[in-house]
Structure 1
Amino acid sequence: MAINTGDKAPDFTLVTKGAEGPELVKLSDLVGKSNLVLLFVPMAFTGVCTTEFCDISSGISDYEALDAKVIGISGDNPFAQAAWAEKEGISITLLSDYEHEVAKAYGVAYEQFLPEANLIMGGVAKRSAFVIDKEGIVRYAEVQDHPKDLPDFDKVKETLKGLA
């Protein structure tokens, strides 16, 4: 089921690699503290995903100035995500949706990832962006069908400006 603008953001608990080891992050614990930008990407260590998260990391002050916390979500395990972040200088919080349950809850899971390449990997997240306000309501939702297409980050920032 697709999540649309105006919907309550589905809650979730996912794992990140913290300084002391794996840590649980619950969306409902973050709601109300700042606006949230959830960015789903297909896979760590791939070209477009790396470029997207490196660009976001280098411009993170733009999002902080708009009172937003940016969170990246992929189906990779948290240790692979941590190695990716360290190698590439990715500074946003990365959450592991290893079972693809959150991608399914947000309606962004591929049935078959890159069928033209005969890859049989269901559940991989489509590249997507969601802006969630401090009340937990989705104020912007964009889902790309092709993994090389980036979300419109100008529209993401425009939405955040409207929430300030």
Structure 2
Amino acid sequence: MSLLGQAAPDFTLPSNTGQDVTLSSFKGKKNVVLVFYPLDFSPVCSMQLPEYSGRQDDFADADTVVLGVNRDSVHAHKAWAAEYGIEVPLLADMKLDTARQYGVAIDERGISGRAVFLIDKGGVVRFEHVEAKPGDYTVRPADVLAKIAEL
């Protein structure tokens, strides 16, 4: 199932910042990069999210917000963000409803796959990449920044 060229499914999820985040609130204002990842504190995720967080200035310069999404709780997100210095909001999709909307839920394992979606200011999915296996991490922040530059 591809969402490319379609309106991004809207959602509201609690985040480690203390506020709920609604995707449609960015419409007309910012591009959004959704980074779905399996688990806080896992080895690959602990490389991926800090990498995206470290490029936050570059994303901000490109008028883009990065949001991490997985099924861990807000409490786990807060602890993980503090330990790894992650500054992008981490959203708690505890029932995997949002992951299902984006076609990346791995229900039998109770996690989401690793995937990146770029949503333009109009709310349309302009780039999507779902890793073949949750342990793969092939789309780096620089790749996503290049896609943003093409918008």
TM tier, smaller: over 0.9
The aligned residue for residue 34 of structure 2 is 38
Match of 1:139 among 107, 123, 126: 126
Q: Gaps (5+ residues) in structure 1?
A: 113-120
Shift in Å, 1:30: 1.7
The aligned residue for residue 92 of structure 1 is 88
> Do the aligned partners of 2:3 and 2:102 also contact (CA within 8 Å) in 1?
no
Where does structure 1 differ by over 6 angstroms across 4 or more consecutive aligned residues?
Answer: none
* Deviation readout 1:109-146 (Å, 9 max, x if unpaired): 1143xxxxxxxx23x11000000000000000000121
Aligned residues: 150
Shift in Å, 1:25: 1.1
* Deviation readout 1:36-77 (Å, 9 max, x if unpaired): 100000000111001001111112122112111100001000
> Do the aligned partners of 1:143 and 1:151 also contact (CA within 8 Å) in 2?
no
Match of 1:127 among 114, 136, 145: 114
The aligned residue for residue 49 of structure 2 is 53
CA separation in 2, counterparts of 1:7 and 1:155? 21
Letter in 1 for 2:51: D
Q: Gaps (5+ residues) in structure 2?
A: none
* Deviation readout 1:59-116 (Å, 9 max, x if unpaired): 212211211110000100011101100011001011000010000000001143xxxx
Structure 2 length normalisation: TM-score?
0.93
In our comparison, the structure showing a higher alpha carbon Rg is 1
* Deviation readout 1:6-30 (Å, 9 max, x if unpaired): 0110000100133xxx421111112
SS at match of 1:17: coil
